[in-house]
Amino acid sequence: MVIFFVLGLVGFAAHGLADGREGLVLASIVSGVFFACFLILFAIYWIGYLLKGHAIWQAERQAESDGPSTGQQRED
């Protein structure tokens, strides 16, 4: 994720250093692709983080009730 962010910044810097129109278009496309990859990976990371937190919360809730998380009681 960090690598794509850095490559996007490098592509953006190359955008400013481009001499011709072709270089400008190519640098724009490259930096856009790298930033898009960064955003996708960033979203995947945060979704995983939130799902992990939810699983921990659900396990703690189930441990407190000593039963399934649906609220049903165990049969003895």
3-state secondary structure at position 5: helix
Specify the pLDDT at position 55.
94
For the four alpha carbons of 40, 45, 48 and 49, in that order, the dihedral sign comes to negative
Report CA 76 to chain centroid distance, whole Å. 45
Specify the pLDDT at position 18.
63
Q: Report yes or no: 62 and 68 within 8 Å, Cβ to Cβ.
A: yes
For residue range 23-62, what is the model confidence (pLDDT) as tens digits?
A: 777 778 888 888 898 999 999 999 999 999 999 999 999 8
Specify the pLDDT at position 51.
96
What distance in Å separates the CA atoms of residue 53 and residue 69, rounded to the nearest whole number?
16
Q: Find all residues with CB under 8 Å of 60, minimum gap 6, and list them.
A: none
Here the tokens at position 34 are: 């790298």
**For the ranges 3-7, 12-16, 20-24, 55-59, the one whose mean pLDDT is highest:** 55-59
